[in-house]
Amino acid sequence: MEGQIHRRNISGCGLAGMMSEDGRLMGGEAIIRSMEVLHDRSNGLGGGFAAYGIYPHKADYYALHIMYDDVKAKEETDVLLDERFEIDSEEIIPTKKSEAIPKGPLLWRYFVKPKVDFEDCGLCEEDYVIEAVMTVNSMVSGAFIFSSGKNMGAFKAVGYPEDVGKFYRLDEYEGYTWIGHGRFPTNTPGWWGGAHPFTILDWAIVHNGEISSYGINKRYLEMFGYKCTMLTDTEVVAYMFDLMLRRHNLPLEVACKALAAPFWTDIDRMKAKGNAKGDIYEALRMVYGGALLNGPFAIILGHTNGMVGLSDRVKLRPLTAARKDDMLYIASEEAAIREISPELDIVWNPKAGEPVVGELKNPVKKGSNKARELEETVA
């Protein structure tokens, strides 16, 4: 989509996330209401959501959400997709136009499986999907794949988040994790793809901040073959999680400590006390220095098995968390949480760089279908 994505967006924002660790399915009205409270944190130039558990009947297929400028872009994309995937089905994503969002690009949804059988190599299959997504996004003018995970989907547009939620009729979907975002960009390509969340595979990121280390984060990722085509900070965060969690197999908590690294004084103190974490963090900072996200940010990461909230190492952007029964809530402001759950068991302001982690009690096994079958046979 060259031409549309030539500016890196610097933005302040509002974000909210909610997750049932029991995996209970919930409609999309709540997250819309939560985001509506944060209306003033955005300026109508971008809103979006990601939801997990919404396609249970197609859970084995990668759900591709694609925006097209025109039919020609779709035709070109279809050729590329046909070469790579078996397409189970494709349909127009249902929307409801309103005064707030009167028009937009063509929005399509595909359920696909790779044509190549990767046997027991789950990583290879996911790399294959990433490659396909990056190929379409960088090669086809006027086409943009904005969601590519299994049993999840991203929905985004130019508009206020509550209007975007209604536009995509999110009340008709049911998911166990929802994250939402409203943008306040300081420059405006006015492009739907520039809204959050940014996703790759099942990683979805909503982000409030400006990452001053972007220049090196991007070059660091390029060493591992990622192409940062969108020039947004947020894209970089998504790839960082993909690299560290999926490819390097780091525990989530450790990966978060690379993105929001502890200070050397704290690491030295841990080492002096014989705390093994001191050595881990020292190694992490030596090896993953290029992954450190420096500058103000608060993010919520959604993925198939959970949700994570994280702020930068000195917490220059707000982030509040709360729990109620099996629910975990994370938002820019407590008000956004109270709006949808007035009674809470606990509310807290996570410390700088301390991740807030929600995990499904019964996690979904990832990887290719073959790999899962093999694993089950062995078990």
- 106-114 and 143-147: which strand pairing? unpaired
Is 45 a binding residue for other proteins by CB under 8 A? The answer is no
Q: Angle at the Cα of 243 (from 242 to 245), degrees rounded to 5?
A: 65
> Strands 327-331, 320-324: parallel, antiparallel or unpaired by DSSP?
antiparallel
Instruction: Tell me if residue 228 is catalytic.
Output: no
Question: Residues 10, 123, 134, 374: which binds other proteins (CB under 8 A)?
Answer: 10
Per-position DSSP letters for 38-59, written without gaps between them:
TGGG--SS-EEEEEESS-GGGT
- The string over 114-145, giving b where at least 16 C-beta atoms fall within 10 Å of a residue's C-beta and e elsewhere, is beeebeeebebbbbbbbebbbbbbeebebbbb
Which range touches other proteins (CB under 8 A), out of 2-10, 14-22, 111-119, 142-150?
Answer: 2-10
Which whole-number Å values give the CA distances from 82 to 74, 77, 129, in the listed order?
12, 8, 13
Q: Which residues from 271-300 bind other proteins, rule CB under 8 A?
A: 276-277, 279-280, 283-290, 292, 294-296
- Of 57, 92, 102, 223, the one binding other proteins (CB under 8 A) is 223
Q: How many residues does the chain have?
A: 379
Smallest distance, other proteins to C-beta of residue 299, A: 15
Binding status of residue 7 toward other proteins by CB under 8 A: yes
Minimum CB separation of residue 131 from other proteins in Å reads 17
CB of 239 to other proteins, least distance (A): 14
| Residue 12 interacting with other proteins (CB under 8 A) | yes
Which positions ≥6 away from 231 have C-beta within 8 Å? 5, 6, 7, 8, 9
Q: How far is the CB of 281 from other proteins (least distance, A)?
A: 10
* Residue 6 interacting with other proteins (CB under 8 A): yes
Instruction: Note whether 215 binds other proteins by CB under 8 A.
Output: yes
Q: How far is the CB of 111 from other proteins (least distance, A)?
A: 33
Other Cβ atoms closer than 10 A to 92: 9
- Report in angstroms how near the CB of residue 346 gets to other proteins at its nearest: 22
DSSP strands (E only) in the chain = 11-20, 26-27, 47-52, 62-68, 85-92, 106-114, 143-147, 152-157, 174-175, 177-185, 198-200, 203-209, 297-303, 306-311, 320-324, 327-331, 346-348, 356-359
Nearest-CA neighbor of 160 among 35, 11, 67? 35
Q: Residue 316 or residue 344: which is nearer to other proteins going by CB?
A: 316
* Residue nearer to other proteins on the CB measure, 162 or 210: 210
Residue among 138, 212, 229, 341 that touches other proteins (CB under 8 A): 212
Residue selected from 265, 274, 351, 377 as contacting other proteins according to rule CB under 8 A: 265
Residues that bind other proteins (CB under 8 A): 6-8, 10-12, 186-187, 209-210, 212-216, 219-220, 222-224, 231, 247-251, 253-254, 261, 263-265, 276-277, 279-280, 283-290, 292, 294-296, 313-314, 316
Q: Which residues are catalytic?
A: 13
